[in-house]
Amino acid sequence: MAQIRFPEDFHWGAATAAYQIEGAWKDDGRGASIWDTFSHTPGKVKNGDNGDVACDSYNRYKEDIGLMKDLGITMYRFSIAWPRIFPDGTGELNLKGLEYYSNLVDELLAAGIEPVCTLYHWDLPQTLQDCGGWENRDTIDAFVAYSEIIFREFAGRIKYWITLNEPWCISFLSNYVGIHAPGNRDLQLAVTISHHLLIAHGRTVKRFRELGIEGQIGFAPNVTWLEPYSNRKEDVDACRRGVAYFLEWFMDPVLLGTYPQFMLDWFAAKGVNLEIQDGDMQDMRYSIDFIGINYYTGNVGRYKQDEGLFDYEDIDTGYAKTDFDWFICPDGFYNVLCYITQRYGNIPLLITENGACYNDEVEEGCVNDTRRIQYLKQHLIQLNRCLESGVNLIGYLTWSLLDNFEWAEGYGKRFGLIHVDFQTLTRTRKNSFYWYKEVICKSGFDL
Ligand SMILES: N=NNCCOCCOc1ccc(-c2cn(C[C@@H]3NC[C@@H](O)[C@H]3O)nn2)cc1
> Residue 1 pLDDT > 80, yes or no?
no
- Kindly report the length of the chain: 447
263 CA to centre of own chain: 23
User: Cβ(166) to ligand 1 under 6 A?
Assistant: yes
Residue type, 389: S
* Residues 247-258 pLDDT 10s: 999 999 999 999
User: Cβ(17) to ligand 1 under 6 A?
Assistant: yes
Residues annotated in a binding site for substrate:
20, 121, 165, 296, 399, 406-407
Confidence of residue 323 (pLDDT cuts 50, 70, 90): very high
Give the model's pLDDT for residue 2.
Answer: 87
CA Rg, the chain, in Å?
A: 21
C-alpha 311 to ligand 1 mean position (Å): 20
Q: What is the DSSP letter of 32?
A: P
Please state the rounded mean pLDDT for residues 187-212.
Answer: 98
Confidence of residue 14 (pLDDT cuts 50, 70, 90): very high
Q: Is 63 a catalytic residue?
A: no
User: Cβ(177) to ligand 1 under 6 A?
Assistant: yes
Could you give the C-alpha distances from 319 to 297, 299, 326, in angstroms and in order?
Answer: 11, 8, 9
Cα atoms in the Cβ-side hemisphere of radius 13 Å centred on 151: 23
Please state the rounded mean pLDDT for residues 392-397.
Answer: 98
Q: Is 166 a catalytic residue?
A: yes
* Residues 40-50 pLDDT 10s: 999 999 999 99
Q: Of residues 166, 210, 214, 227, which has the active-site annotation?
A: 166
Which of 118, 173, 175, 194 for mutating ligand 1's site (highest number of atoms within 8 Å of CB)?
A: 173
The bridge status of strand 312-315 relative to strand 290-303 is antiparallel
* DSSP string across 350-417: EEEE---------BTTB---HHHHHHHHHHHHHHHHHHHTT--EEEEEEE-SB----GGGGGGS---S
Question: Cβ atoms within 10 A of the Cβ of 346, count?
Answer: 10
Distance CA 9, CA 330 (A): 24
User: Cβ(353) to ligand 1 under 6 A?
Assistant: yes
C-alpha 242 to ligand 1 mean position (Å): 14
**Which of 273, 308, 132 lies closest to 192 in space, CA to CA?**
273
> Residue 87 pLDDT > 90, yes or no?
yes
- Residues in CB range of 134: below 8 A, 6 or more apart: 124, 170, 171, 193, 196, 197, 200
Question: What pTM was computed for the model?
Answer: 0.98
> Residue 392 pLDDT > 80, yes or no?
yes
